[in-house]
């Protein structure tokens, strides 16, 4: 029992990261109507800037800041492509574009970082925060979950309680209409992309030491992130938060059971399958067509 | 087989014989070896083109299906199953089918993006599973043997070419069939497809099943090509980059799949010879796919457009045919064809329709009019089965329709048209009619098109003007000769002369096709001219019904339309 609890708690850091990435995905979807497959790749780019600077001997914390700045820039760059050329495109075209961009980013990333070549990723927040029922809870897990919760609260407040948020929600599908209302859509969209870029970069920096830090593995963390977002049906931030943390816990537990631990990366797939089958109980037609 | 498919198939076969002969006969072995790889990638791309290109879904686990096919071939080889490689490859393709269907299931009712997430997460899961299981025979260095006849590099090239040609021809025939038309229709508008009696589930799942089968075959071919395989051959990254290539070149075209295969195989080869890193290829594919998505045109489509420009323009005449070629009307019993009682529809607290009753007698044209927002479109949606719930009863020829989804109502004999154009632009006019009416002969198709002044069957819908597309919509529903036709503002956007002519045609529908008509229209001249009964809706209620001459002169009707009181009308 205690072993299971220990491994579940060990999954908390991953859970917090999934949750944060998932909440960012929902945020992006609700504000700029893009299901973003490059989410984790943007953060990965920033993380590797940190690694490169750190390996070159720069001090840690300035490198972290530079990494976050780089993630923000990459986010804004992708946002620029999406708003400049695909502002009025359909949701599935936009998703297809981010898939294509993901292919390109991973290829460039692998090239620049030397493929599977092992890197020295500093642990930003080593040590444990507190003990709970005899199990150490790490600072990293408290931090990722805290950050995810903070982002959830902010996103919820912004969308429900500010005028700009309300307008954007109503008009996410029709940027042109928002433009006519006097909202600076382009500016705001880029802000959304930059902000999610910064947050995901920070989350990935925390989880990177736990994973094999190669560019592709980290970029593909988008899979559990989107699974979490699906748990929230791309609408509810709180459910996405819960979905992400839950996913991490289940993965943690699975890793302690020998017979299934090898297959634990199949868990997001099972979650996605279950959520989709459950959410489409009632027939619905594709929107307005 | 239709004439057009025969012609296209012949082109593929002749091109294959010529190019195959040149490559296998003249090129050095190394290039033959590379060309085989091009063809295998081409097969995988064709499978992807089916789901991504034709039905417009984002599928990111195509190489996983290929992996299933390859694994099956490896397993059969290890188990020394009878039949040899060709049979094993087919079994490998079949093994991928159940997986394709299972993964297609979550995408049945929700659109593309969910499928992208499912397929991507499946590809991740499959990566781990395959890496853990290892490829059969991998540890014992057991090679998958090629058939004796095709053992050399040249021989195996011919073997793969045979598979490629058979698949290309089969897909060509399929794409021109009603099933193929239904894929395009589903991609363009699921509602419109269902209104023609197409089952969305069957259309999507069949696309997925066939696509998985073809992908499985490409995996089997790869097994024979390389002898032994590792899980990296089928990694998620391969699936992702294959998707980018498919989007870039248009893999649902025969030339698109080959161009894609050439890019995937030859680009790294060129980079290698130039001493450049080979993974730059993926960056190029990403840029190419983004470019194709932003212009909405794949390389194949650009290519075809340029070729068309070079060809001398042929003047497409309106379809001319004899009226006697029209399909014979279906004779039906007299009495009510469609009867609706107490139909009530609520959207939350808003009552869109409030106890509407209406009967359309067989062999007649009835009208349904009312100002904007009166509930006419809601009425049609409810009757045709596009609303999730309503109260009241709807029966077609005495048979209740409750509980039947839209495509079953359409098959039962209740057809509708749409206010906005929903015809897939990639279809030909003839292909659209074949989709709308199963089993229509060529002369019947021409006759119906001629009857409504629609263009020749070979014309692409994309080149037909908006007004004519609306007529085409009408042609589609009457061609099916259903019991009841619901026409939703067919005269909108037509000139006065066109609308008069259309009125004459609509009046002929019951006699020529045996269908009763319910016409929803704003054009009062048209309604007066063709309807024997008119029902007027306002704010979801029936405010008048009866013969048009009487109903249209009622004060309440004038008030609803013109917003003026009875007294001032009288004055």
Give per-residue pLDDT as tens, B207-243: 999 999 999 999 999 999 988 888 888 888 899 999 9
Does B38 fall in a domain? yes
Assess B240–A contact: CB distance below 8 Å, yes or no: yes
In this prediction, what percent of chain A has a pLDDT beyond 90?
39
Q: How far apart are CA B557 and CA B21, in angstroms?
A: 76
Query: What is the band of A211 on the pLDDT scale with cuts at 50, 70, 90?
Result: confident
Read off the pLDDT of each residue in A32-44 and give the average, rounded to a whole number.
92
Asked if the structure places residue B96 within a domain, the reply is yes
Question: Which residue in B58, B105, B124 is closest to A99 by CB distance?
Answer: B58
Q: Do B116 and A99 touch (CB under 8 A)?
A: yes
Mutate which: B113, B279, B404, vs A, most A CBs within 10 A: B113
Q: What percent of chain B has pLDDT over 70?
A: 95
Structure-token pair, residue B204 = 């999507």
Closest CA to B526 of B567, B562, B496, B486: B496
Counting the structural domains of chain B, the total is 2
The residue among B235, B260, B280 that closes a domain is B235
What is the residue range of B341's domain?
Answer: 336-422+482-570
- Percent of chain B, pLDDT > 90? 31
Looking at B235, B253, B278, the residue that finishes a domain is B235
On whether both B200 and B58 belong to a single domain, the answer is yes
Q: Rounded to whole angstroms, how far apart are CA atoms B226 and B29?
A: 15
ipTM: 0.91
Q: Once rounded to an integer, what is the mean pLDDT over residues A43-48?
A: 94
Distance in angstroms (rounded) separating the CA atoms of residues B528 and B519: 11
Do the chains contact at A285 and B191, CB–CB below 8 Å? yes
Distance CA B53, CA B37 (A): 22
How would you classify residue A188: left for phi > 0, otherwise alpha for psi between -120 and 50, otherwise beta? Answer: alpha
- Give the start-to-end residue ranges of the domains of chain A: 2-116+135-279
* Whether residues B175 and B28 fall in one domain: yes
Q: What is the CATH number of the domain that holds B408?
A: 3.40.50.300
Query: What b/e string do you get for A252-280 counting C-beta neighbours within 10 Å, with b at 16 or more?
Result: bbbbbeeeeeeebbbbbbebbbebbeebb
Would the CB atoms of A107 and B124 count as touching at under 8 Å?
A: no
pLDDT tens-place string over residues A57-86: 899 899 999 999 999 999 999 999 998 888
CA distances from B222 to A13, A144, B153, B259, B279 (A): 41, 44, 13, 19, 21
**A224 to chain B: nearest residue by CA?**
B121
Q: What is the Cα–Cα distance from B433 to B178, expressed in whole angstroms?
A: 10
Q: Is residue B461 part of a domain?
A: no
Residue scoring higher pLDDT (A90 or A185): A90
For chain A, say whether B106 makes contact (Cβ under 8 Å).
yes
Distance CA B33, CA B266 (A): 12
Q: Binning pLDDT at 50, 70 and 90, where does residue B37 land?
A: very high
Q: What is the mean pLDDT of residues B454-474?
A: 87
Domain-ending residue, one of B220, B235, B250? B235
In whole numbers, what is the pLDDT of chain B averaged over residues?
A: 86
Which residues in B lie closer than 8 A to residue A216 (C-beta atoms)?
A: 237
pLDDT band at B569 (very low <50, low <70, confident <90, very high): very low
For residue A283, the distance in angstroms to the closest alpha carbon of chain B comes to 6
pLDDT band at residue A289 under the 50/70/90 scheme? very low
Q: CA torsion B516→B521→B526→B527, rounded to 10°?
A: 60
Instruction: Please state the length of chain B.
Output: 571
Residues A114-134: tens digit of each pLDDT: 877 777 778 887 877 787 777
Is the pLDDT at B321 greater than 70, yes or no?
A: no
Over the stretch A221-252, which tens digit does the pLDDT of each residue have?
999 999 999 999 888 999 999 999 999 999 88
Give the minimum alpha-carbon distance from A61 to chain B in angstroms, rounded to a whole number. Answer: 32
In CATH, the architecture of A2-116+135-279 is: Orthogonal Bundle (1.10)
């Amino acid at each position: 029992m205690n072993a299971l609890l220990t491994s579940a708690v060990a999954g908390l850091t991953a859970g917090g990261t999934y949750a944060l990435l998932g909440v960012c995905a929902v945020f992006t979807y609700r504000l700029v109507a893009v299901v973003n497959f490059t989410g984790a790749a943007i953060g990965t780019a920033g993380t590797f800037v940190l690694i490169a600077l750190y390996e070159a001997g720069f001090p840690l914390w300035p490198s972290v800041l530079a990494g976050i700045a780089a993630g923000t820039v990459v986010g804004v760059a992708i946002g620029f492509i999406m708003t400049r050329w695909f502002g009025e495109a359909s949701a599935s075209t936009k998703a297809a574009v981010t898939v294509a961009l993901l292919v390109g980013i991973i290829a460039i990333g692998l090239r620049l970082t030397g493929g599977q070549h092992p890197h020295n990723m500093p642990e930003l927040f080593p040590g444990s925060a507190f003990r709970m029922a005899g199990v150490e809870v790490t600072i990293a897990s408290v931090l990722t979950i805290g950050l995810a919760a903070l982002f959830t609260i902010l996103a919820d407040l912004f969308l429900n309680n500010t005028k700009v948020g309300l307008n954007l929600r109503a008009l996410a599908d029709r940027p042109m209409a928002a433009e006519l209302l006097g909202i600076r859509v382009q500016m705001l969209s880029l802000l959304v992309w930059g902000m999610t870029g910064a947050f995901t970069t920070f989350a990935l920096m925390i989880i990177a030491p736990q994973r094999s830090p190669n560019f592709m593995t980290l970029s593909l963390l988008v899979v559990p992130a989107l699974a979490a977002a699906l748990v929230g049906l791309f609408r509810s931030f709180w459910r996405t938060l819960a979905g992400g943390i839950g996913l991490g816990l289940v993965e943690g537990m699975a890793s302690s059971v020998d017979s299934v631990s090898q297959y634990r990366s199949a868990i997001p797939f099972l979650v996605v399958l279950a959520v989709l089958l459950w959410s489409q109980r009632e027939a619905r037609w594709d929107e307005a067509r | 087989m239709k004439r057009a498919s025969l012609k296209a198939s012949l082109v593929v076969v002749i091109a294959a014989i010529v190019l195959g002969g040149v490559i296998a006969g003249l090129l050095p072995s190394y290039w033959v070896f590379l060309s085989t790889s091009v063809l295998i990638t081409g097969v995988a791309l064709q499978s992807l083109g089916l789901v991504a290109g034709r039905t417009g879904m984002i599928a990111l686990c195509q190489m996983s299906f290929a992996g299933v096919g390859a694994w099956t071939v490896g397993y059969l080889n290890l188990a020394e199953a009878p039949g040899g490689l060709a049979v094993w490859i087919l079994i490998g393709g079949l093994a991928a089918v159940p997986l394709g269907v299972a993964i297609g299931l979550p995408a049945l009712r929700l659109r593309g993006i969910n499928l992208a997430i499912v397929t991507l997460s499946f590809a991740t899961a499959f990566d781990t599973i395959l890496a853990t299981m290892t490829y059969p025979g991998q540890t014992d260095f057991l090679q998958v043997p090629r058939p004796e006849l095709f053992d050399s590099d040249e021989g195996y090239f011919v073997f793969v070419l045979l598979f490629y040609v058979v698949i290309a021809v089969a897909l060509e025939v399929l794409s021109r069939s009603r099933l193929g038309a239904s894929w395009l229709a589903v991609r363009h508008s699921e509602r419109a497809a269902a209104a023609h009696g197409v089952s969305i589930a069957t259309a999507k799942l069949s696309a997925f099943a066939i696509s998985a089968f073809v992908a499985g075959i490409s995996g089997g071919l790869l097994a024979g090509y390389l002898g032994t395989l590792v899980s990296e051959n089928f990694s998620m990254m391969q699936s992702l980059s294959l998707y980018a290539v498919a989007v870039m070149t248009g893999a649902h075209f025969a030339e698109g799949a080959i161009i894609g295969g050439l890019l995937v195989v030859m680009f790294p080869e060129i980079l290698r010879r130039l001493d450049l890193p080979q993974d730059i290829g993926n960056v190029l594919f990403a840029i190419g796919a983004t470019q194709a998505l932003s212009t909405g045109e794949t390389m194949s489509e650009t290519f075809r457009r340029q070729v068309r420009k070079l060809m001398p323009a042929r003047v497409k005449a309106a379809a001319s045919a004899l009226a006697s070629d029209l399909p014979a009307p279906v004779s039906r019993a007299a009495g009510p064809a469609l009867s609706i009682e107490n139909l009530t529809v609520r959207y939350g607290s808003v009552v869109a329709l409030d106890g509407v009753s209406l009967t359309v007698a067989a062999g007649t044209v009835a009208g349904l009019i009312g100002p904007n927002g009166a509930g006419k479109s809601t009425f049609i949606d409810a009757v045709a089965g596009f609303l999730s719930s309503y109260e009241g009863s709807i029966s077609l020829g005495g048979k209740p329709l409750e509980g039947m989804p839209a495509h079953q109502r359409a098959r039962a004999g209740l057809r509708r048209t749409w206010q906005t154009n929903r015809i897939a632009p990639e279809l030909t006019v003839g292909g659209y009619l074949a989709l709308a009416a199963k089993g229509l002969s060529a002369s019947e198709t021409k006759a119906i098109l001629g009857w409504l002044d629609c263009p020749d069957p070979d014309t692409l819908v994309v080149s037909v003007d908006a007004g004519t597309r609306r007529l085409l919509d009408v042609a589609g529903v009457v061609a099916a000769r259903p019991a009841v036709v619901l026409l939703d503002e067919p005269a909108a956007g037509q000139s006065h002369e066109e609308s008069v002519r259309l009125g004459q045609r609509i009046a002929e529908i019951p006699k020529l096709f045996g269908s009763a008509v319910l016409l929803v229209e704003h054009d009062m001249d048209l309604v007066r001219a063709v309807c024997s009964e008119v029902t007027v809706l306002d704010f979801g209620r029936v405010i008048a019904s009866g013969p048009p001459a009487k109903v249209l002169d009622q004060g309440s009707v004038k008030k609803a339309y013109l917003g003026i009181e009875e007294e001032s009308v009288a004055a």
